[in-house]
């Protein structure tokens, strides 16, 4: 597995235009404005987007990396419920925990990124981590995720792929599209549909049944930075149409730097779980199903 980049090894200005977006200058008015806008968007829609955040040259490098690793993609054809838990026959049919949806999508897991990966340099950058934390406006610190597979993967969707409604194991995910689908591949989400103390199964069941109450759509453009709270916001990616695959970098953040995806979740999404996933399964982050 590649080791982390040290701060001095990350030329942030090659990835982000720091004249336009001075996220490294903690006292700058421009940074304060970006953070303020992000916090407003987050409060209004449970998600924020900064257009044109990553330089086009860096997006091209991300795209080349994902294309180069395309054959190493793990493809899942498994059906799953939104929580990535096993079926529970003690629950009534129609319960969202018993609603399994077909998935066809792939991941280039974080542990196989290239030695000089742009995506990994972005992820290892403390300046970016600090900026994202400020944008979230939470007092509780965020960390990079311990999960060796899910911490910073590329999501891969071929034409015909779709990623049905689900919650993530980690709290927050940044997404940066490296290559967009010709059509479809739209990110849909229901902001903050659940809280640590309230699963809100009724609303989840409504959306799984095709209901649109509270559903937002976001058509991401390559280079945009989006941040969403995937542990609390039900989300999906609609079917990819046309000739091109959709590639998206997914730097993932957590409040608890020890915990990982549960083994069942990891196996469903990445095709395997490591010994560490098994050892850390019992660590509770909150009271949610998963």
Ligand X SMILES: O=C(O)CCC(=O)C(=O)O
Residues in the site for ligand X, rule: CB under 6 A?
Answer: 155, 163, 168, 175, 187, 235, 237, 248, 250
Residue 117 or residue 175: which is nearer to ligand X going by CB? Answer: 175
Q: For the CB of residue 92, give the shortest distance to ligand X in the complex, in Å.
A: 27
Contact 223, 175 (CB under 8 A): no
Q: Which of residues 202-221 bind Fe ion (CB under 5 A)?
A: none
Residue 122 or residue 237: which is nearer to ligand X going by CB? Answer: 237
Q: For the CB of residue 26, give the shortest distance to ligand X in the complex, in Å.
A: 30
Q: For the CB of residue 185, give the shortest distance to ligand X in the complex, in Å.
A: 8
Number of residues that bind Fe ion (CB under 5 A): 2
Residue 35 or residue 189: which is nearer to Fe ion going by CB? Answer: 189
Q: Is 200 left (phi over 0), alpha (psi -120 to 50) or beta?
A: left
Residue 152 or residue 175: which is nearer to ligand X going by CB? Answer: 175
CB atoms within 10 A of CB 183: 14
Q: Which of residues 229-258 bind Fe ion (CB under 5 A)?
A: 230
Question: Cβ contacts of residue 56 below 8 Å, gap of 6+?
Answer: 222, 223
Q: Report the partner that residue 237 touches, choosing among ligand X, Fe ion, none (CB closer than 5 to 8 A by kind).
A: ligand X
Q: For the CB of residue 191, give the shortest distance to ligand X in the complex, in Å.
A: 14
User: Taking CB under 5 A as the rule, does residue 224 contact Fe ion?
Assistant: no
- How far is residue 167's CA from residue 141's CA, in Å, rounded to a whole number? 21
Each residue 63-82 as x (binds Fe ion by CB under 5 A) or -, in order, gives --------------------
The single residue among 168, 199, 224, 290 that binds Fe ion, judged by CB under 5 A, is 168
Strands, E assignment, the chain: 47-50, 74-76, 79-80, 101-102, 105-108, 143-144, 154-157, 163-166, 172-179, 183-184, 187-190, 216-218, 225-228, 234-237, 240-241, 246-249, 252-254
Q: For the CB of residue 155, give the shortest distance to ligand X in the complex, in Å.
A: 4
Crossing angle of helices 126-136 and 29-45, rounded to 10°: 50
Q: Which residues bind Fe ion (CB under 5 A)?
A: 168, 230
């Amino acid at each position: 597995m590649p080791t982390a980049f040290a701060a001095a090894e990350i030329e942030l200005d090659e990835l982000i235009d720091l004249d336009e977006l001075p996220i490294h200058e903690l006292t700058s008015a421009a940074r304060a404005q970006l953070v303020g806008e992000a916090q407003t968007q987050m409060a209004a829609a449970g998600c924020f987007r900064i257009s044109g955040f990553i330089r086009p040259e860096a997006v091209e490098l991300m795209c080349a990396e994902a294309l180069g690793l395309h054959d190493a993609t793990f493809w899942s054809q498994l059906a799953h419920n939104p929580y990535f838990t096993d079926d529970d026959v003690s629950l009534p049919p129609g319960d969202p925990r018993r609603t399994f949806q077909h998935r066809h999508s792939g991941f280039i897991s974080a542990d196989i990124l290239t030695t000089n990966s742009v995506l990994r340099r972005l992820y290892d950058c403390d300046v970016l981590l600090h900026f994202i934390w400020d944008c979230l406006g939470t007092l509780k610190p965020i960390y990079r995720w311990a999960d060796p597979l899910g911490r910073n993967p590329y999501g891969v969707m071929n034409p015909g792929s779709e990623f049905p409604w689900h919650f993530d194991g980690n709290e927050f995910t940044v997404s940066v599209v490296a290559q967009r689908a010709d059509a479809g591949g739209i990110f849909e989400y229901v902001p903050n549909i659940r809280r640590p103390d309230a699963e809100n199964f009724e609303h989840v069941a409504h959306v799984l049944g095709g209901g649109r109450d509270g559903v937002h759509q976001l058509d991401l453009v390559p280079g945009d930075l989006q941040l969403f709270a995937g542990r609390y916001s039900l989300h999906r990616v609609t079917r990819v149409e046309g000739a091109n695959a959709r590639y998206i970098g997914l730097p993932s953040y957590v409040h608890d730097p020890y915990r990982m995806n549960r083994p069942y979740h990891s196996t469903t999404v990445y095709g395997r779980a490591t010994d560490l996933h098994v050892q850390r399964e019992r660590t509770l982050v909150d009271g949610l199903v998963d």
